[in-house]
Amino acid sequence: MHEMDRDHASAGRAPAAHTVPDVDERRRLPRTDVLLADPRLVAAAERLGRGLVKDVVTGVQARARAGEVPVGEVADHAVAALPATACALRPVINATGVLLHTNLGRAALSAAAREAVLAASGTTDVELDLATGARSRRGRSALDALLRAVPAAGAAHVVNNGAAALVLAATALAQGREIIVSRGEMVEIGDGFRLPDLLASTGARLREVGTTNRTTRADYAAAVGPDTGFVLKVHPSNFRVTGFTREASVAELAALGVPVVADIGSGLLAPDPVLPGEPDAASRLRAGASLVTASGDKLLGGPQCGLVLGDTELVRRLARHPLARAVRVDKLTLAALEATVRGPDTPTRTALHADPARLRQRAERLAAELRADGIDSRAVGTDAVVGGGGAPGVTLPSAAVSLPARYAAPLRGADPAVLARVEEGRCLLDVRAVPEDADAALAAAVRRAAVAREAPDVPGRGA
């Protein structure tokens, strides 16, 4: 066939489709530097840091190479994956019914304390007298607030946690000497740390007296001698011994003629009618204790720190000991502590004194709202506890929203995360430790969990 004939013949047919070889779209994945030049990611780098943003970008690129993210949407996914802050810690709504949950950082700071931390986060007069321009006592306003709250104390000192307060006392007052302590008060304070080991690490020798269940004043008196540094009275804050028991009071020990250090643990500064059996700093000092040591992030409701209150000369010895520098607190802790002591009720105190009838109303309202959305929910009565090694055996009447157990896992993955407890096949959201203004966020988290992927039931009780 002639060329012209072929052309005419082909003119009557549709042209053959032009086939383009498939190209793996992943080859078109934008380079990291190109993605980091996206204005949204540039702004994020200024707020969060370039290294953090780059890590997020490379993570999304890896997902795109695995075919999990469309190549053209890598930048969008990277922006969506950016954290709210440069800190990996995530906010958690504590719906466990444990007011001071150690794994959640114990006490939640009050609004006043959070504002104080923000104000102190820049340069501040933590150790400066602005009137004279001279150096001043570190954290003087926080110490003054403590002394006003506990008038029975002649002086106060603050360290970085409760255990440090006791270690500093042992080191300054009894290194190379004896600490007399009841066998029934040789406690484990958590995470495997035991009081005897802690005190022995200071170079002091422990002189154990009495028995596990009974220790009298006479037991202590028989042990007092020239090598006695002090008598230690420890509140067994995370357990109770009942039955055939006896313990010597602080007043009895104060009559022995040697310093008495009372470790109350929980940080309660004054008596609280809700916790009649819980020791407080003011009462221990009035009974004759030379020093009281306590934690700041438990019933006091403040930041993690250790308090030392008591005899002026003994507190001064602790504050001037070389170890005091190693356990010193920073300006943020001092700011939060002062605002906690001076300011309004803390979230801890509010939860501790919550009206059970009001808690039931909140739980019923939340459950009704969720049922209206088709979620299996109901209000139930529960018992809350103080937690954080405080008030063992004390239960607080509370109320919770009861959900199927499968909600527990997706709630932990919510934003904010929600930590519940699982009992008898149900996920319980106890509202006693949940601020009332967080109820809407709690309900929203449950609604998101309802549409999340089904999670297996979780046996046992969450904590």
Q: Report helix, strand or coil for 80.
A: helix
Q: Is 409 helix (H, G, I), strand (E, B) or coil?
A: helix
Distance CA 318, CA 326 (A): 12
DSSP string spanning 103-149?
GGTSSPPPHHHHHHHHHHTSS--TTEETTTTEE--TTHHHHHHHHHH
Residue 442 sits in a domain whose CATH number is 3.90.1150.180
- How would you write 291-350 as a 3-class SS string? EEEEECCCCCCCCCCEEEEECHHHHHHHHHCHHHHHCECCHHHHHHHHHHHHCCCCHHHH
pLDDT in tens, 324-348: 999 999 999 999 999 999 999 999 9
Which residue do the tokens 């006091």 mark?
300
The H or E element that residue 248 is part of is: none
For position 138, which CATH number holds?
A: 3.40.640.10
| Residues 314, 415 within the same domain | no
In a domain, 12, yes or no: no
Instruction: Give the pLDDT score at 184.
Output: 86
Question: How far is the CA of 415 from the CAs of 81, 323, 343, in angstroms?
Answer: 13, 41, 29
Among residues 84, 116, 428, 130, the alpha carbon closest in space to that of 302 is found at: 116
Residues 58 and 38 in one domain: yes
- Is the residue at 463 inside a domain? no
0.85 surpassed by pTM = yes
- The pLDDT assigned to 395 comes to 92
Closest CA to 269 of 237, 231, 235, 296: 296
In degrees, rounded to 5, the angle at the alpha carbon of residue 241 between the alpha carbons of residues 235 and 245 is 100
- Phi, psi for 410 (deg, rounded to 5): -65, -30
- 5's CB contacts (< 8 A; 6+ apart) are none
pLDDT at 13: 46
> Would you state the pLDDT for residue 229?
96
82 shares its domain with 116 = no
Q: How confident is the model over 314-326, as pLDDT tens digits? A: 999 999 999 999 9
The answer to whether position 16 is within a domain reads no
pLDDT band at 140 (very low <50, low <70, confident <90, very high): very high
pLDDT at 69 over 70: yes
5 within a domain of the structure (yes/no):
no
Are 98 and 125 contained in the same domain? no
- More reliable by pLDDT, 199 or 311: 311
Judgement on whether residues 341 and 218 belong to the same structural domain of the protein:
yes
pLDDT at 176 over 70: yes
- Cα separation of 415 and 417, whole Å? 5
Q: 126-140 burial string, b = 16+ CB within 10 Å, else e? A: beeeeeeeeeeebbe
What is the distance in angstroms between the CA of the first residue and the CA of the last residue of the chain?
A: 88
Q: What is the mean pLDDT of the chain?
A: 90
Cis peptide before 456 (omega within 30 of 0): no
In the listed set 345, 375, 409, which residue is the last one of a domain according to the structure? Answer: 345
Judge if 311 and 266 occupy the same domain: yes
Give pLDDT tens digits for 241-269: 767 778 899 999 999 999 999 999 889 99
Residue 237 has a pLDDT of 60
Is residue 3, in this structure, part of any structural domain at all? no
- Within-domain flag for 2: no
Rounded to an integer, the average pLDDT of 109-125 is: 97
Instruction: Please identify, among 345, 361, 396, the residue that sits at the C-terminal boundary of a domain.
Output: 345
Q: Are 78 and 176 part of one and the same domain? A: no
Q: Which of 292, 327, 345 is the last residue of a domain?
A: 345
pLDDT for residue 235 = 85
pLDDT digits (tens, 9 = 90+) for 399-441: 999 999 999 999 999 989 999 999 999 999 999 999 999 999 9
331 and 354 share one domain: no
Question: Which residue range forms the structural domain that includes residue 310?
Answer: 109-345
CB-count exposure of residue 261 (10 Å: 0-12, 13-18, 19+): buried
pLDDT of residue 133: 95
How high is the pLDDT of residue 460? 39
In a domain, 375, yes or no: yes
**Residue 362 domain-assigned (yes or no):** yes
Total domain count, the chain: 3
Does residue 1 register a pLDDT over 90? no
- pLDDT tens per residue, range 200-245: 999 999 999 998 888 999 999 999 999 999 999 998 765 667 677 7
- Pairing type for strands 417-419 and 193-194 reads unpaired
| In a shared domain, residues 72 and 221 | no
Q: Are residues 273 and 378 in the same domain?
A: no
**In whole angstroms, how large is the CA radius of gyration of the chain?**
31
Mean pLDDT within 91-103 = 96
Give the residue, 308 or 88, on which the prediction is more confident. 308
* Same domain flag for 337 and 433: no
